[in-house]
Amino acid sequence: MSVAPTNNPAITLVAGTAITKNRLVSLGAGGVADLCPVNGIPIGQSMADVDAGDLQGVRLPQAGTLVLTALTAIAVGAQVHTAANGKVNDVAASTSRPFGVALSAAAADGDLIEVLPLVHQGAAVA
């Protein structure tokens, strides 16, 4: 099944590191886009594969769904959390943050899924 994001506003930031499309992005030092670490505060979804120093479009989660890369198999309806390298996982690590709900399933690492974010400007919504 193909997944696509629902309407979302986007911003453009300089990439602080090489970034792969469909990964969670956080703000790095100086306001650059970086891959979101497991304990980071995600600001949105990367829109392209870029090298450090290139412009990166960041799809913001406030107004729709995002297409993100799974770390493992994830079932529809599972709560997803931040994971390493900007991916999402349905298992909460001690340092991860809740991010949203999976609207499609992932069978394995690297699969793309549609996620309904439950965050607004980095604060989890209960």
pLDDT at 123: 44
pLDDT at 10: 87
Query: Global pTM?
Result: 0.70
Asked if residue 89 lies in contact with residue 79, where contact means CB atoms within 8 angstroms, the answer is: no
The ranges assigned to domains in the chain are 10-62, 66-124
- Candidates 35, 29, 43; CA nearest to 119 is 43
Which residues face 59 on adjacent strands?
A: 10, 45
For 101-121, the pLDDT digits (tens) are 898 999 999 999 999 888 543
pLDDT at 107: 97
Could you give phi then psi for residue 8, rounded to 5 degrees?
-145, 140
pLDDT at 9: 84
Where in 55-97 does DSSP place strands (E)? 55-59, 66-69, 79-82, 88-89
Residues (pLDDT < 50) of the chain are: 120-126
